[in-house]
């Protein structure tokens, strides 16, 4: 593990907890976790930051997935099929991520952050729709589309960069499979576990994971994920929507300062 100050370690652990909470409720915990790692470990190669991010995130995502599956109506077999395609996509993305530098990664993350922020602002009802409002029939073609494009495409993105994957999965699953928000979130967690596993396997094979740091942060990420999933099932995500916007714009400002100041 690289030499980091106690203050930085505490901040990273708190960021892991917050990321787990946000990811479980609305997706997109990587929007907080990955930039936090980039800021806290400025001299660590980008591949190691990405690998450590996956090692942390898979723990919280798994905990949230178990919580959702117990209480939300999820078609587990459909989610697993999408997840297996996403796993292959994420391994491919992680393979190409080894040659990416932090200087390239920061602008890409800023663009993704701003895109997500714009969507959330332009769609004020995102995350507030009543559960069960989508009862349209899902055709075989839509299921195949979800497996190939949602699973493969977003899986590749998750392995290559990662931030916002959970949010993108929720949006895509809602649009393609006509799922309500809670069911889409639950399905996305199962898929996200697969993408994280695929990417983590590749990063681990390449020796690009800071395991000691990841293990400590994973404990906090798991706690945040369990709490977030329970809150999403009980209260919805209106409050988190506001928190997410604040966090997104704060991180964009900080990353922009580090990139160009």
Using CA atoms of 108, 113, 116, 119 in order, give the dihedral in degrees to the nearest 10.
-100
Q: Using CA atoms, how far apart are residues 190 and 198, in angstroms rounded to an integer?
A: 13
pLDDT digits (tens, 9 = 90+) for 181-229: 778 888 888 998 888 888 898 889 989 999 999 999 999 999 999 998 8
Q: How confident is the model at residue 237, as a pLDDT?
A: 57
pLDDT at 111: 83
Are 195 and 159 in contact by the 8 Å Cβ rule? The answer is yes
Average pLDDT over residues 174-178: 81
Cα separation, 22 vs 19, in Å, equals 5
CA atoms within 13 A on the CB side of 162: 38
Domain-by-domain residue ranges, the chain? 6-260
Q: What is the pLDDT of residue 163?
A: 67
The pTM for the full model equals 0.75
């Amino acid at each position: 593990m690289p030499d980091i100050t106690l203050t930085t370690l505490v901040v990273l652990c708190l960021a892991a907890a917050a990321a787990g909470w946000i990811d479980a409720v609305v997706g997109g915990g990587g929007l907080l976790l990955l930039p936090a790692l980039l800021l806290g470990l400025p001299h660590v190669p980008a591949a190691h930051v990405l690998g450590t991010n996956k090692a942390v995130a898979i723990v919280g995502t798994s905990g949230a997935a178990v919580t959702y599956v117990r209480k939300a109506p999820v078609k587990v077999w459909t989610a697993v099929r999408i997840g297996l395609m996403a796993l292959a996509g994420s391994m491919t993305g992680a393979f190409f991520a080894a040659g990416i530098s932090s200087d390239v990664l920061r602008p890409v993350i800023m663009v993704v952050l701003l895109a997500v922020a714009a969507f959330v602002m332009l769609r004020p009802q995102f995350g507030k729709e009543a559960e069960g409002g989508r009862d349209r029939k899902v055709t075989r073609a839509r299921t195949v589309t979800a497996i190939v494009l949602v699973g493969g495409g977003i899986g590749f993105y998750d392995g290559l960069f990662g931030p916002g994957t959970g949010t993108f999965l929720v949006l895509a699953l809602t649009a393609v499979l006509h799922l309500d928000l809670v069911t889409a979130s639950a399905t996305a967690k199962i898929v996200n576990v697969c993408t994280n596993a695929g990417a983590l396997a590749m990063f681990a094979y390449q020796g690009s994971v800071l395991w000691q740091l990841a293990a400590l942060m994973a404990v906090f990420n798991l706690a945040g994920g369990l709490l977030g999933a329970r809150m999403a099932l009980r209260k919805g995500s209106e409050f988190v929507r506001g928190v997410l916007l604040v966090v997104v714009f704060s991180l964009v400002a900080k990353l922009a300062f580090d990139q160009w100041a």
